[in-house]
Structure 1
């Protein structure tokens, strides 16, 4: 009975695809910040659909005021960044419709945002979306999806384990 009361949070988890499209290795992203893993390791998706969903069970840590990125924290403490497009901070929210707020609890597959691929591309920006494990010093990634089609809320991008 006491074990149930003081149940430890699940630390290891599978990170689901937050978008539908093609998973590509981070080193193929045409932006040095991501390809050189300056923000952390991860994978990117070349999206084919505008819907962005939560890849984890956890909490919305930060919705960037320019609406181009959302950071999340798993119940076990892993921090994830979903960065919609490249250099899209310069769009100042144009093409993005955020459906969550800071501190909101989310489950895998819950809607986070819509990302107007046509608007972003028409403005001259790439829609490739990096999904980054921000605190890789504390967590490890394994079974990373690469060079394959993924469907949001259905396919696993990678597994996260506490180091």
Structure 2
């Protein structure tokens, strides 16, 4: 009961941060042209219009899954986030063209390790939306989640702040 009282005043609430896995301009998920992501059906988070050509580990983590096509990676961070990083919309249709996977499922990665490299210009030239989704799939386990919407982030800048319950 005492811990709930402290939390009601914002005391004793632990904030955790997920860093940006790539550089770019951050926008809300609601602006994404794919309703599965826009409605948060796969998790809460943000969208990034990338300015770079690689995805790095946003934290020390274990690679849970990485698609052979290179368009997405799922991580479990040491800090307890289940993260999905999805490069582009419908980019699985490229069947791996313009992507180079640098990690494998089961790998332990350090914050900043390269997971995926991609050719942003070539993907866009083929008509695909290159927006990158960064989702926390277990967001329901946390009291609140706030993304750095409306800002430009560099790799490993603060991207999403989460408060524990």
Band of TM-score, shorter chain: 0.7 to 0.9
Counterpart position of 2:130: 127
Which residue of the other structure, out of 26, 41, 44, is the alignment partner of 1:41?
44
Q: Where does structure 1 lack aligned partners over 5 or more consecutive residues? A: 1-10
Counterpart position of 1:52: 55
Deviations 1:79-119 (CA, angstroms, capped at 9, x unpaired): 00000011111111111111111111112211111111011
Counterpart position of 1:23: 26
SS of equivalent residue, structure 1 residue 137:
helix
Counterpart position of 2:158: 156
The CA RMSD over aligned residues, in Å, is: 1.6
Q: Paired residues, what number? A: 152
Equivalent pair of 1:12/1:76 in contact (CA under 8 Å): no
TM-score using structure 2 length: 0.86
Deviations 1:101-156 (CA, angstroms, capped at 9, x unpaired): 11111122111111110111111101100100111222344342011110012x11
Counterpart position of 1:144: 147
Counterpart Cα distance in 1 of 2:104 and 2:138: 21
Equivalent pair of 2:68/2:101 in contact (CA under 8 Å): no
TM-score using structure 1 length: 0.87
Counterpart Cα distance in 1 of 2:43 and 2:54: 24
SS of equivalent residue, structure 2 residue 25:
strand
Cα pair distance change 1:140/1:122, threshold 3 Å? farther
SS of equivalent residue, structure 2 residue 147:
coil
Rg larger for: 2
Equivalent pair of 2:139/2:145 in contact (CA under 8 Å): no
Counterpart Cα distance in 2 of 1:95 and 1:26: 24
Counterpart position of 1:97: 100
